[in-house]
Amino acid sequence: MSARSSFAGCRRVVCLIAVAVVTNAHSGLADATAPRAPGDPTSIFLVAKSENKNQVHFGVKLDQACNVVGTHPLYGYWRMLEKNGEIEPILSREVRAYGLDPVQRIERTADATTIYARLNAIPDRQLRVTVTQAAGRCEARAMMPIAGGDAHLRLIYIRLAWPFGVDYILLRGSRLPAGGPVEEKL
């Protein structure tokens, strides 16, 4: 076996182990592992990638009465876990990969507000974020079709290809209405 093929085999094993560790570490609630200071945004789902520990989290702008704020209430931000969980904006050069389509449609009913949007990286999947108020708290849930059915979206994992590109995208969440785990590889 040549040194080149031996190196490629080892790299493949290391990547598979990293994928297993990252996807298992991020299978719970979106922002559970990151420290949060008062006033920090609340994450409703996240995007993790194979390149490093940093994550893109998505939140929704709400007022004190749980009403969405503005015409583009969904937003993304970096949670820089390699820098003690600092929050940074998504840069303009990163919007194509990690941002939202600028069109966000908002529907209000008596007991909920739903925002419809699309992620730039997977535009064929509609994202729905529903905001409700329960026990005096605002609650937001992200939903998206996963594996042929409606699901509560928790994690999008991106396995980057070497040296450039995307190997695959993994959607992970819980099946609605039962709540069992579901995932789909794109």
- pLDDT tens digits for range 93-110: 999 999 999 999 999 999
The per-residue pLDDT for 9 is 42
- Window from 3-12, 76-85, 124-133, 176-185 with minimum mean pLDDT: 3-12
The per-residue pLDDT for 107 is 98
Q: What is the separation of C-alpha 172 from the centre of its chain, rounded to a whole number of angstroms?
A: 9
Judge contact between 112 and 130, C-beta under 8 A: yes
The per-residue pLDDT for 121 is 94
**Residue 18: which region, alpha, beta or left (left: phi > 0; alpha: psi -120 to 50)?**
alpha
pTM of the full structure: 0.77
Average pLDDT, the chain: 82
Residue 6 has pLDDT above 70, yes or no: no
- Compute the average pLDDT of residues 100-125: 96
The per-residue pLDDT for 41 is 59
Alpha carbons within 13 angstroms on the beta-carbon side of residue 70 total 10
Read off the pLDDT of residues 17-66 as tens digits, 9 standing for 90 and up. Answer: 333 333 333 333 343 333 333 344 589 999 999 999 999 999 999 988 89
Residue 75 has pLDDT above 80, yes or no: yes
